[in-house]
């Protein structure tokens, strides 16, 4: 296969938003679920009535989704009927526990933020964007469940690397920013004698409550609503898990978070920080550099970190023996450190 010319590459990249945009629109409308609920066969007129959408707009969107093979179409004109392609049915059904719909909705919000990159670079200020048609509260919920989707796909390999790094040796853990509790549930399942606490904002704790209420782990997990910068964390833990959190903050914010984690741990306790770990030039990994743009447009001070920055900030909070326990080019790189034993 011949390599793209520079013109071809620019043409391809400049148009890449189109397919993601039509998927996002369908996700916000919950279009796929409506089709599946209708025995996976529906006309434009029927779907527009169910979704309360414009017939012309619905027709154009359905045809674009068919052209990109997320839908199948039989018949033409008024006799046409649409179905969700079998390969995508489970992922595009918002009723399914494995649904990808929250991620599509979240990435739609991200995409709207990214349209303001030039403005943010020019002014140094992040710009608020209007919520989706679902509203701001549902957008926040989509973010939480999108992160749950990512964590669900990553949790097994991440636990494997934690085993290899000899970090899964604790009995009592705190999951800082644990949201719906994907990792907390995995810790509880993997370590049958362990107990845990999730600390997060109300929207995250609400999602965790959905997961753990009446579950096998309900009596082994505590759910604590807290603002990272106003509230102290519970104490007495021998492991602190900080997964995909620090990129939301600048150096001072991360240091404050590490100090609170330090105070939450028993003497000799360990902390593990999972996030992108950039090279010294801050240009690799590529996904990390792109994620830096995400933090630029979505937060006022968020950023990606090099391992040396993470190491310095952990040490400033009092941690010792800081090491890059898991080297990875994704957000699954893990830095680990210890709280010194009392009297040492």
**CA 59, CA 195: separation in Å to the nearest integer?**
52
pLDDT at 325 over 80: yes
Helices 251-264 and 307-316, interaxial angle, to 10°? 50
Average pLDDT over residues 210-228: 96
The per-residue pLDDT for 97 is: 84
| Reported confidence tier of residue 68, pLDDT bands at 50, 70, 90 | very high
The per-residue pLDDT for 78 is: 81
Average pLDDT over residues 37-63: 97
**CA 172, CA 268: separation in Å to the nearest integer?**
13
Could you tell me what percentage of the chain is helix, strand and coil, using 3-state DSSP and rounding each to the nearest 5?
A: 50, 15, 35
Average pLDDT over residues 19-32: 98
The per-residue pLDDT for 144 is: 85
The per-residue pLDDT for 108 is: 96
> What are the structural domains of the chain?
6-104 (1.10.10.10), 147-338 (3.40.50.150)
The per-residue pLDDT for 1 is: 52
Mean pLDDT, all residues of the chain: 95
Report the percentage of the chain scoring pLDDT > 70. 99
Output DSSP code: residue 232: P
pLDDT at 26 over 90: yes
pTM: 0.89
Sign of CA dihedral 303, 304, 310, 312: negative
The per-residue pLDDT for 309 is: 98
Longest pairwise C-alpha distance within the chain: 80
The per-residue pLDDT for 2 is: 65
């Amino acid at each position: 296969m011949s390599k793209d010319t520079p013109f071809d590459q620019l043409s391809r990249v400049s148009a890449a938003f189109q397919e993601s945009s039509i998927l996002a629109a369908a996700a916000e409308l919950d279009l796929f679920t409506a089709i599946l609920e209708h025995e996976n066969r529906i006309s434009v007129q029927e779907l527009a009535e169910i979704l309360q959408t414009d017939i012309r707009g619905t027709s154009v969107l359905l045809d674009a989704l068919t052209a990109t093979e997320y839908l199948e179409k039989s018949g033409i004109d008024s006799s046409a009927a649409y179905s969700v392609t079998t390969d995508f049915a489970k992922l595009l059904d918002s009723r399914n526990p494995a649904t990808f719909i929250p991620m599509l909705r979240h990435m739609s919000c991200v995409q709207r933020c990214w349209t303001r990159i030039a403005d943010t670079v020019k002014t140094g200020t992040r710009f608020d964007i209007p919520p989706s048609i679902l509203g701001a509260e549902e957008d926040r919920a989509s973010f939480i469940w999108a992160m749950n989707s990512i964590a669900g796909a990553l949790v097994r390999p991440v636990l494997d690397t934690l085993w290899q790094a000899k970090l899964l040796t604790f009995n009592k853990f705190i999951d800082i920013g644990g949201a719906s509790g994907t990792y907390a549930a995995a810790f509880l399942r993997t370590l049958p004698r362990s107990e845990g606490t999730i600390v997060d904002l109300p929207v995250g704790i609400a999602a965790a409550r959905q997961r753990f209420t009446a579950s096998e782990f309900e009596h082994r997990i505590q759910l604590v609503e807290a603002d990272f910068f106003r509230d102290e964390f519970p104490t007495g833990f021998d492991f602190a898990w900080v997964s995909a959190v620090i990129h939301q903050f600048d150096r001072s914010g991360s240091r404050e978070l590490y100090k609170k984690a330090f105070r939450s741990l028993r003497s000799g306790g360990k902390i593990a920080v999972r996030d992108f770990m950039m090279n010294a030039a801050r240009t690799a990994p590529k996904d990390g550099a792109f994620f830096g743009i995400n933090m630029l447009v979505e937060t006022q001070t968020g950023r990606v970190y090099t391992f040396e920055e993470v190491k310095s900030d952990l040490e400033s909070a009092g941690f010792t023996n800081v090491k890059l326990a898991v080297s990875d080019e994704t957000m699954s790189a893990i830095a680990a450190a210890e709280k010194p034993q009392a009297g040492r």
